[in-house]
Amino acid sequence: MEAIVLYPSPGIGHLISMVELGKLILSHYPSFTIKILLINVPFNTGSTADYIASVSAAVPSIAFRQLPTISLPRDPASYTSIGVMASELLRFNTPHVHDELLSISQICNVNALIIDLFCAPVLGIAAKLGIPAYHFFTSGASCLALFFQLPVIHQNTIKSFKDLEGTTVDLSCLPPVPLSHMPTPTLERNTFEYESFIDCTAHLKKSAGIIVNTFESLEPKAVKALEDGVCVPDGPTPSIFCVGPLISTNHQTGGGHDKMRECLTWLNTQPNRSVVFLCFGSRGVFSKEQLGEIAIGLERSGQRFLWVVRDPPSDVKRESILVQSLEPDLNSLLPDGFLERTKERGLVMGSWAPQLQVLNHESVGGFVTHCGWNSALESICAGVPMVAWPLYAEQKINKILLVEELKLALPMNESESGLVSAIEVEKRVRDLMESDQGKSMKERMLVKMKEALKAMGDGGSSRVALAELVESWKQG
């Protein structure tokens, strides 16, 4: 029996991405079995139990293996961020991963270990056991090309990235990207988060290969630069396998049947391509002031809308790390009378909506998004143009790609204080749904939608890349 072992970072988003990769492999190469290693975490990462149960029932060739619970060296509430805690969990779990790989090897031939960006500590034990280790990079090829630069930039400067506002990373495959647009953990030098992130990106080049959730014709310049080996300044580039777009087909990770029914029933009553969908991911939260500006902008725009609203972030660190947000009180968060005044053309959902199904509904004509890569791919595959409003992680990089390079999105512009005004929201929503620029974006998006389908079809670039990846395991 041949097995592929997948090891994701903690969190439902990381887990779903790995499961989708496992399902892709099995759909074309069913002789493999997939083993997914899971870490026990002392903080809320989104409920995984129901999701794991549904995957296990639907795909018996995917088996989940829970790593033993470990004791962190300090109280979980004392950590400054979930990222710091997750990094320590990954480091302390390395011996358990070693033991699991040995255990699996006794019953299966382990062809490969696939890890995500933050699981670099296990590369050494994979090498020790003679198991080729691959990275699964869940963002795009352009972001990967940039991340290869970070260790060298780190060596060539002593300043924090946040203090290098005018300094850009200039690659031939992308418009200039300000260093201040890098992921939040990298912005402040000499912190645990910074050092951990730089270390993880430095380990990318040590992979046997990097699996990327993109397709060649979406990011042709970046893919070519990676394949030509010009993105790694100080060594060879691992083999690159673009196997996307990989999109989650699970709709129950944050809501339920009642909310899904409410969304889709409402959308069924709306005209074709008339609704703008606003959704900002599981971690996309705004202050009450910002929610008010969005509400005023939507009301003034005159557009039909479906808007997902989450509770504003808590000022209490322990709650923000350990406690799941409750269902928001929409009446207290939004301007007085807003829900009543807009009820004929708008629907506001608390916390969650079935994003993939919403984007693929014929009533939806635009998407205001945080530029998470999964959301961007879902929008592209649905043929829905975007307004780009990045919030965290690598999303500012994705915005530059989507707005400036691919011209599939309009930018949402912040004021100097970081607030997006009602005037800006109104303008961008109207431009997206009514302007000639919005119509041109729609046409480009439909082209990319067809290219995505072609890439995943027989003989498509992503299918060919997957075959090359599997062949590399068999040769190894």
The predicted-structure confidence for 136-165, as pLDDT tens digits, reads as follows 999 999 999 999 999 999 999 999 999 988
- Spacing of C-alpha 381 from chain mean position: 15
Calpha distance 181→285 (Å, rounded): 19
Please give the pLDDT value at position 323.
Answer: 40
The two tokens of residue 402 are 């989507």
The model's pLDDT over 418-471, given as tens digits with 9 standing for 90+, comes to 999 999 999 999 999 999 999 999 999 999 999 999 999 999 999 999 999 999
Please give the pLDDT value at position 463.
Answer: 97
Burial environment of residue 68 by CB neighbours within 10 A (0 to 12, 13 to 18, 19 or more): exposed
Q: How confident is the model at residue 17 (pLDDT cuts 50, 70, 90)?
A: very high
CATH number of 257-453, picked from 3.40.50.2000, 3.90.209.20, 3.10.20.30, 3.30.420.10: 3.40.50.2000
Calpha distance 445→226 (Å, rounded): 24
Given a cut of 60, whether residue 251 has pLDDT beyond it is: no
The model's pLDDT over 79-127, given as tens digits with 9 standing for 90+, comes to 777 788 888 899 999 999 999 999 999 999 999 999 999 999 999 999 9
Residue closest to 425 by CA, chosen among 281, 287, 295: 295
For the chain, give the percent of residues with pLDDT over 70. 95
Calpha distance 134→122 (Å, rounded): 11
Q: Are 70 and 93 in contact (CB under 8 A)?
A: yes
Q: Are 278 and 359 in contact (CB under 8 A)?
A: no
Given a cut of 70, whether residue 376 has pLDDT beyond it is: yes
Cβ-count burial 269-298 (b if 16+ within 10 Å, e if not): ebeeebbbbbbbbbbbbbeeebbbbbbbbb
Cβ-count burial 319-345 (b if 16+ within 10 Å, e if not): ebbbeebeebebeebbeeebeeebeee
Calpha distance 59→86 (Å, rounded): 28
Count other Cβ atoms within 10 Å, centred on residue 364: 24
Mean pLDDT of all residues in 242-252: 81
Given a cut of 50, whether residue 400 has pLDDT beyond it is: yes
Residue closest to 396 by CA, chosen among 162, 212, 104, 62: 162
The two tokens of residue 229 are 């080996």
Given a cut of 80, whether residue 393 has pLDDT beyond it is: yes
Mean pLDDT computed over every residue of the chain: 92
Given a cut of 70, whether residue 317 has pLDDT beyond it is: no
Calpha distance 429→97 (Å, rounded): 48
Given a cut of 90, whether residue 476 has pLDDT beyond it is: no
Please give the pLDDT value at position 45.
Answer: 58
Q: How confident is the model at residue 44 (pLDDT cuts 50, 70, 90)?
A: low
Please give the pLDDT value at position 291.
Answer: 98
Given a cut of 50, whether residue 316 has pLDDT beyond it is: no
Residue closest to 375 by CA, chosen among 354, 355, 404, 394: 355
The two tokens of residue 182 are 């890098």
Please give the pLDDT value at position 250.
Answer: 59
Q: Are 266 and 293 in contact (CB under 8 A)?
A: no
Which residues belong to CATH 3.40.50.2000 in the chain? 2-248+454-473, 257-453
Please give the pLDDT value at position 12.
Answer: 82
CATH number of 2-248+454-473, picked from 3.90.1300.10, 3.40.50.970, 3.40.50.2000, 3.40.50.720: 3.40.50.2000
Mean pLDDT of all residues in 385-395: 96
Burial environment of residue 185 by CB neighbours within 10 A (0 to 12, 13 to 18, 19 or more): buried
The one-letter amino acid at 111: N
Mean pLDDT of all residues in 362-386: 97
Please give the pLDDT value at position 322.
Answer: 40
With helix as H, strand as E and coil as C, how does 41-81 read?
A: CCCCCCCCHHHHHHHHHHCCCEEEEECCCCCCCCCHHHCCC
At which residue do the structure tokens 């951990």 appear?
Answer: 196
